[in-house]
Amino acid sequence: MEEAQISKVFAALADPTRRDIVARLAVGDATVSDLAEPYDISVQAVSKHIRVLADAGLVTQHREAQRRPCHLEAEVFDLMTRWIERYRRQAQARYERLDAVLADLQADENAEMTVPSQGEAS
Amino acid sequence: MTATARYQATIEADPTVPVIRITRDFDATPAQLLRAHTDPVLFARWVGPDGMNTRIIDWDATDGGRWRYVASRDGEDYGFRGCFHEVSEARIVQTFTYEGMPEGVSLETLTFEDLGDGRTRLHAQSLVDSFEGRDAWLASGMETGVNEGYAKLDALVGEL
């Protein structure tokens, strides 16, 4: 997935109404007027949101008799999850390096603690 | 690096504000974890990413002190800087900026939660200044930005 596309997806999802729309489409396909119903905004405004989601590749619309239901492209999420998991692993890798540093730190501290006690014993 | 780490990093976010939280447990005391974050020699050893050489340029890990480091790979330098707002036993509060994108400043709060038995839970929270700023981070492919993006997605998937 192109970085420009990723950026579009995240920008599309930054809006709370569009996140709501995505959550509703995750349940099943719906028309723009279905989607507009629970909101205090016009069908035109919902159409605009759908265009942003479609432009990001998150939603497609196909003709079905007289209706044009919106469909959530779930595989975009799979791609994003994989793309982002790469970076979660970077955070994990960083903290595994920190694990090693902390283990050394503990070894040093233990050594410092044993030296004086040996001194006392002699 | 060990084959299988004992603890895994988890990332979560508030869906309504650009806040990201990374949580990770460590087999270390809070004091040791604090030292690994404030001692510049120790910090440079782990901040990474892998394959990057980190040079500490400025480092004053006290309230109001400043920090700056340069990460290098294949002859390319990437500078990062910020200020330590608070450095205490329980937490570090600091700003963070990638010099390649100086208009983006995040506020980082690291909290060391003592779990007892020599274990500590690190809570690393990043507050970015806007969703647009976060997207810019994403587009840049920088590690911090994408972790934030991951958090965003986690939150979204959680809502679905």
pLDDT of residue B99: 92
Interface predicted TM-score (ipTM) over 0.85: no
pLDDT of residue B142: 39
**Least CA distance to A92: which residue of chain B?**
B9
Chain position carrying tokens 């990062």: B80
pLDDT of residue B19: 77
pLDDT of residue A16: 77
Q: Do B28 and A106 touch (CB under 8 A)?
A: yes
**Least CA distance to A27: which residue of chain B?**
B160
pLDDT of residue A7: 72
**Least CA distance to B137: which residue of chain A?**
A7
pLDDT of residue B139: 43
Task: Determine the residue among A101, A104, A108 to mutate to test chain B binding: the one whose Cβ has the most chain B Cβ atoms within 10 Å.
Answer: A101
Q: What is the CA radius of gyration of chain A?
A: 26
User: Does B3 touch chain A if contact means CB atoms closer than 8 Å?
Assistant: no
pLDDT of residue B62: 97
pLDDT of residue A84: 58
pTM score, two decimals? 0.64
Structural domain spans, chain B: 17-159
The alpha helices in A14-73, defined as continuous H runs, are 16-27, 32-36, 43-55
User: What is the least distance, in Å, from the CA of A24 to any CA of chain B?
Assistant: 8
pLDDT of residue A122: 40
Residues of A in contact with B122 (CB under 8 A): 95
User: Does A95 touch chain B if contact means CB atoms closer than 8 Å?
Assistant: yes
Task: Determine the residue among B23, B147, B148, B154 to mutate to test chain A binding: the one whose Cβ has the most chain A Cβ atoms within 10 Å.
Answer: B147
Would you state the structure tokens that stand for residue A85, as one six-digit string? 């998991």
Q: Express each pLDDT in A11-35 by its tens digit.
A: 787 787 888 888 788 778 999 988 8
Q: What is the CA radius of gyration of chain B?
A: 16
User: Does B17 touch chain A if contact means CB atoms closer than 8 Å?
Assistant: no
Q: Which architecture does CATH list for B17-159?
A: 2-Layer Sandwich (3.30)
Show Cβ contacts of residue B72 under 8 Å, excluding neighbours closer than 6 positions. B52, B53, B54, B55, B78
Q: Do A80 and B141 touch (CB under 8 A)?
A: no
User: Does B102 touch chain A if contact means CB atoms closer than 8 Å?
Assistant: no
User: Does B41 touch chain A if contact means CB atoms closer than 8 Å?
Assistant: no
User: Does A115 touch chain B if contact means CB atoms closer than 8 Å?
Assistant: no
pLDDT of residue B82: 97
Question: What string of pLDDT tens digits covers the 160 residues of chain B?
Answer: 444 578 888 876 555 677 777 888 999 999 999 999 999 999 998 887 777 889 999 999 999 999 999 999 888 899 999 999 999 999 999 999 989 888 888 999 999 999 999 999 999 988 887 766 555 454 444 344 334 444 444 444 444 3
b/e burial code for range A27-65 (CB count within 10 A of at least 16 → b): eebbbbebbbeeeeeeeeebeebbebbeebbbbebeeee
Handedness of CA B87, B91, B93, B97 (dihedral sign): positive
| Phi-psi label, residue B123: left if phi above 0, alpha if psi -120 to 50, beta otherwise | beta
**Least CA distance to B6: which residue of chain A?**
A96
Q: Do A105 and B42 touch (CB under 8 A)?
A: yes
Q: Express each pLDDT in A52-106 by its tens digit.
A: 999 988 999 988 777 889 998 877 766 666 555 666 777 788 899 999 999 999 8
pLDDT of residue A48: 94
